[in-house]
Amino acid sequence: MIAMKNTRNTMHYYLMLLPGLCLITLFSIVPMIGVVIAFQRFIPAKGIGGSPWVGWDNFTYMLQLPDSKQIFINTLLIAVLKIIAGIIVPLAFALMLHEIRLAFFKRIVQTVVYLPHFLSWVILSGVIINLLTLDGVINAILSWFGAEPVMFLASNFWFRPLLIISDVWKEFGFSTIIYLAALTAINPVQYEAAVIDGASRTRLLYHVTLPGIRPTIVLLATLSLGNVLNAGFEQVFTLYNPLVYETADIIDTYVYRVGLVDRQYGLATAIGLLKSVIGLVLIVISYRLAAKFANYRIF
Amino acid sequence: MVRSQTWVSRTANGVLIGFLALTALLCLAPIWHTLAVSLSDKSAAAAGIVYAWPVKFTWSSYEKLLQDSKFFDAFYVSLKRVALGGIINFALTILMAYPLSKQARQLPGRNVVTWVLVFTMLFNAGLIPWYMTISKLGMLDSIWALVLPGAVPIFNVILLLNFFRGVPKELEESAFVDGAGPWRTLLQIYIPIGLPALATVTLFSIVGHWNSFFDGLILMNHPSNYPLQTYIQQLVVQLNTQSLMTAEEARKLMEISNKTLNAAKIFVSMIPILIVYPFLQRYFIHGIVLGSVKE
């Protein structure tokens, strides 16, 4: 009797899963079959079945392209700098905020700083461009000091710092909250004990606060390893222009231009596939490390 | 921390508060400035003399915006997308998370399905195969192309799955004993219990739908089908090319383009996010805690 009921329930469970699984198959699994285009000289009119196979040609061609080295360096550099800034800035900010006892002030600051996280890169880029044009407010302020106007968005010197700074602007509030949550979880008894022993504020920071949130720092740092090839497509795409391709072009923007603008499907798929495979390996490594050092499990 | 404060400590506090307040203001300043530009006189904005307050205050950009039918078409596409996408994400998150929160002996194949989900979250085929699949399905220029490919937000499914696992099993067992089937148990026990968690993930998916622009750009051939963010992105591209010109060229183009109107459009497309922001904020920390709850 009970066994029969269980089977009936199981059937209903499968029924619940069905629509979602169909959609995942259609939009995630089917495209995975499409990656064979990476090994073809793909001609859209002939489809996957009719296009000629070219083996690893697309991959060797990719490695010979004069741009590939620069694009790889750009991607890595931008992503790694963002990761480092994305750990240090929110950590410093959270530590400062944690020192403040005024609850309402803390709350207002938190509310303000993580607002940009919820706005899209389109909006933020519109705002940034508006600030940085020749007749924008930043150049107006520079002119008070007698400086020449700077075309920030056309400058290969300024573009990468701009990406890092604007990324920090958008995301540091979000990570600050995570660190603050970890900070409030430190047992107050530890502080009281240290104060009774005569510890100063600086010593409290080094001997109670920082050790208390070390697991969180380690966890966030390890998990960000999976992102070293994600330099932030939406941000770069909405801010860059041909004049700064040299310093700003990343794998994702390159795939977009080669694939959907120039319609070299085989080449673009090959680059995308290579990135996905390396990305997957990195994520698996980072999850393994996170499980080992911070006891982290996704489910 | 109850120790009496010396004046050194008090000064340090003052400096810290000042610094934090300044940083917060700096975060808000670019957005505030955009608002000021949108409310300024056109020539003042073009001359670059608007800072924190509108110069020669006027509503004229917003009046012009009200007559801009393209803007409202795009706004409508976005609203449709958020409504459809939000409902579909909501339903499918529940329908995936509930069965997958069961033990493998209650649901044979559960572990395989879960790993397939995680795999599709971590590995994607790349832009081109994805684009060609949707194009082959004949979905280009259809609202479904913006809604169905992301119909199952896998990360949200995992969050909710973890939450459902924390629900005491006795609740479900007693429901079964009383004769309720899985659907009724889901509707009358799990959904009400999971409401705060569901609100969190649904808000996130709504914000995600509102904010995405790239799928609109590549999957919609006709600009009349663009969602709002894609429409704004096209404006931003124009703004950007303008920023590359010499002052003289820019001045010429300025006569046809419109800085204050663009600023007004950018600001108006922020408004829906500003409206849901208090709710986001309330559930936000909850969402983070939710993600960290593991069995």
pLDDT tens for A90-112 read 999 999 999 888 889 998 999 89
Q: Is the pLDDT of residue A185 over 80?
A: yes
Look up the ipTM and state it. 0.89
Q: Is residue B196 a part of any domain in this protein?
A: yes
Q: Is residue B237 a part of any domain in this protein?
A: yes
Residue of B nearest to A233 (CA): B214
Distance CA A111, CA A97 (A): 12
Q: Is the pLDDT of residue B61 over 70?
A: yes
Per-residue pLDDT, A37: 93
Distance CA B138, CA B118 (A): 28
How would residue B289 be classed by pLDDT, with cut points 50, 70 and 90? low
Pick among A93, A106, A120, A297 to test the B interface (most B CBs inside 10 A): A120
Q: Are A78 and A250 in contact (CB under 8 A)?
A: yes
- On average, the pLDDT of chain B sits at 87
pLDDT tens for B91-144 read 999 999 999 999 888 899 999 999 999 999 999 999 999 999 999 999 999 999
For the ranges A45-54, A140-149, A251-260, the maximum mean pLDDT occurs at A251-260
Position A76, amino acid: L
How would residue B247 be classed by pLDDT, with cut points 50, 70 and 90? low
Higher pLDDT, A50 or B148: B148
- Interchain pair B280, A118: CB under 8 A: yes
Distance CA B71, CA B229 (A): 10
Q: How is residue B52 annotated by DSSP?
A: S
User: Per CATH, is A66-294 categorized as 3.10.129.10?
Assistant: no
Neighboring chain B residues of A132 at a CB cutoff of 8 Å: 243
Entry field: residues in chain B: 295
Nearest CB among B127, B232, B250 relative to A126 is that of: B232
Distance CA B76, CA B19 (A): 42
Share of chain B above pLDDT 90, in %: 57
Residue B130 contacts A where some CB pair is shorter than 8 Å:
yes
Per DSSP, the three-state class of B251 is: helix
pLDDT tens for B143-171 read 999 999 999 999 999 989 988 998 888 88
Per-residue pLDDT, A296: 75
Largest distance between two CA atoms of chain A: 88
Residue B139 contacts A where some CB pair is shorter than 8 Å:
no
Per DSSP, the three-state class of B98 is: helix
From the CA of B223, how many Å to the nearest CA of chain A?
Answer: 16
Lowest mean pLDDT among A270-274, B23-27, B176-180: B176-180
Average pLDDT over residues B66-82: 94
Average pLDDT over residues A156-175: 95
Per DSSP, the three-state class of B232 is: helix
Q: Is residue B82 a part of any domain in this protein?
A: yes
Question: CB-based contacts of B87: which residues, under 8 Å, 6+ apart?
Answer: none
Largest distance between two CA atoms of chain B: 80
From the CA of A243, how many Å to the nearest CA of chain B?
Answer: 8
- Residue corresponding to tokens 């020749």: A134
- Interchain pair B151, A280: CB under 8 A: no
Q: Is the pLDDT of residue B292 over 50?
A: no
Q: Is the pLDDT of residue B294 over 60?
A: no
Per-residue pLDDT, A3: 56
Q: Is residue B187 a part of any domain in this protein?
A: yes
Average pLDDT over residues B164-190: 91
For residue A262, the tally of other CB atoms under 10 A from its CB is 11
Per-residue pLDDT, A50: 87
Q: Is residue B37 a part of any domain in this protein?
A: no
Question: CB-based contacts of A3: which residues, under 8 Å, 6+ apart?
Answer: none
Distance CA B184, CA B189 (A): 8
How would residue A268 be classed by pLDDT, with cut points 50, 70 and 90? very high
HEC secondary structure over chain A? CHHHHHHHHHHHHHHHHHHHHHHHHHHHHHHHHHHHHHHECCCCCCHHHHCCECCCHHHHHHHHCHHHHHHHHHHHHHHHHHHHHHHHHHHHHHHHHHHCCCHHHHHHHHHHHCCHHHCCHHHHHHHHHHHHCCCCHHHHHHHHCCCCCCCHHHCCCCHHHHHHHHHHHHHHHHHHHHHHHHHHCCCHHHHHHHHHCCCCHHHHHHHHHHHHHHHHHHHHHHHHHHHCCCCCHHHHHHHCCHHHHHHHCCHHHHHHHHHHHCCCHHHHHHHHHHHHHHHHHHHHHHHHHHHHHHCCCCC
Distance CA B117, CA B220 (A): 28
Pick among B10, B107, B118, B128 to test the A interface (most A CBs inside 10 A): B128
Q: Is residue B240 a part of any domain in this protein?
A: yes
Per-residue pLDDT, B267: 94
- On average, the pLDDT of chain A sits at 91
How would residue B295 be classed by pLDDT, with cut points 50, 70 and 90? very low
Distance CA B142, CA A236 (A): 27
Nearest CB among B12, B50, B284 relative to A177 is that of: B284
Q: Is the pLDDT of residue B10 over 50?
A: yes
Lowest mean pLDDT among A40-49, A89-98, B70-79: A40-49
Q: What share of chain B is helix, strand, coil (3-state, %, to 5)?
A: 75, 0, 25
Residue B127 contacts A where some CB pair is shorter than 8 Å:
yes
Per-residue pLDDT, A298: 67
Neighboring chain B residues of A105 at a CB cutoff of 8 Å: 17, 20-21
Distance CA A281, CA B82 (A): 34
Sequence spans of domains, chain A: 1-33, 66-294
Return phi, psi of residue A17, to 5°: -75, -25
From the CA of B102, how many Å to the nearest CA of chain A?
Answer: 9
Question: CB-based contacts of B147: which residues, under 8 Å, 6+ apart?
Answer: B81, B84, B85, B88, B209
Query: Would the pTM of this model clear 0.80, i.e. be above it?
Result: yes
Number of domains into which chain B is organized: 1
Share of chain B above pLDDT 70, in %: 88
Q: Is residue B59 a part of any domain in this protein?
A: no
Per-residue pLDDT, A228: 92
Residue of A nearest to B251 (CA): A135
Per-residue pLDDT, B285: 60
Per-residue pLDDT, B244: 62
Q: Is residue B275 a part of any domain in this protein?
A: yes
- Interchain pair A120, B236: CB under 8 A: no
Short-list B20, B5, B31, B272, CA closest to A107 = B20
Residue B29 contacts A where some CB pair is shorter than 8 Å:
no
| CATH number of the CATH domain containing B101 | 1.10.3720.10
CB interface of B with A, residues 188-207, below 8 Å = 207
Higher pLDDT, B27 or A9: B27
For residue B19, the tally of other CB atoms under 10 A from its CB is 12
How would residue A59 be classed by pLDDT, with cut points 50, 70 and 90? very high
pLDDT tens for B202-228 read 988 999 999 999 999 999 999 999 999
Per DSSP, the three-state class of B228 is: helix
Say how far residue B15 (Cα) sits from the centre of its chain. Answer: 35
How would residue B2 be classed by pLDDT, with cut points 50, 70 and 90? very low
Give the domain range for residue B249.
Answer: 65-292
Q: Are A24 and B120 in contact (CB under 8 A)?
A: yes
Share of chain A above pLDDT 70, in %: 98
